[in-house]
Amino acid sequence: MKKGKINLAIFASGNGSNFAAIVKAIVEKKIKINLVVLVCDKSQAFVIKRAQKAKVAVILVDRQDFVTRIDFEKAIVQRLKNYKINLIALAGFMRILSPAFVKRFSNRIINIHPSLLPTFKGAQAIKDAFKSKVKSTGVTVHFVDAKVDHGPVILQQEIKIKKRETLVSLERRIHLLEHKLYPQVIKLLVEAKLKGEAIPCSQ
């Protein structure tokens, strides 16, 4: 990756499709940011292969190797010191970060969630929205605070649920929207920072 003025770390635990979308936006020069490292907590996660292909450094920190969450997070912080991180993007990172970790990186951690927060929090957001028979759902990108799926919203986009929608088709449409929205938000934040402006939020 080319060096930029802002250093980005992506935290992910699984397939890494949002990681790939961000990499694509950087390669296509849609975002002027330096993606310096992937932090992953699962050794078998496919996102690691994506990072290796993109020549992005990988920090693998397996939660099972640590007695407490505090020790787990201390290991992450210690290994991040060499990278001078300006922004952390959570992209399917299946660990709840402690208030202490969030405070350390205050206003520098963002998350993408597959619903229109504050509705349908949690890991089953798409399924919960589908089962609830609501007419629409969507995607939210927000700053992370001490509460789960909470914090100032940066950007949201709605998706209308079709009459003959299936859970599979809704999941596909939500993920495609995520891949569009997350790079868009990162670009927004980068441009605001480079101009010395306040980071825009919707609440």
Amino acid identity of 173?
Answer: R
| Residue in this structure with the two tokens 């980005």, named with its chain if needed | 8
Query: What Å distances lie between residue 167 and 124, 132, 134, 160, 174, CA to CA?
Result: 12, 12, 13, 13, 10
Q: Which of 113, 142, 150, 179 is catalytic?
A: 113
113 is catalytic: yes
Helix (H, G, I), strand (E, B) or coil at 23: helix
26: Cβ–Cβ under 8 A, 6 or more apart, which residues? Answer: 1, 2, 33, 35
Closest CA to 35 of 79, 63, 70, 5: 5
Q: Which residues are catalytic?
A: 113
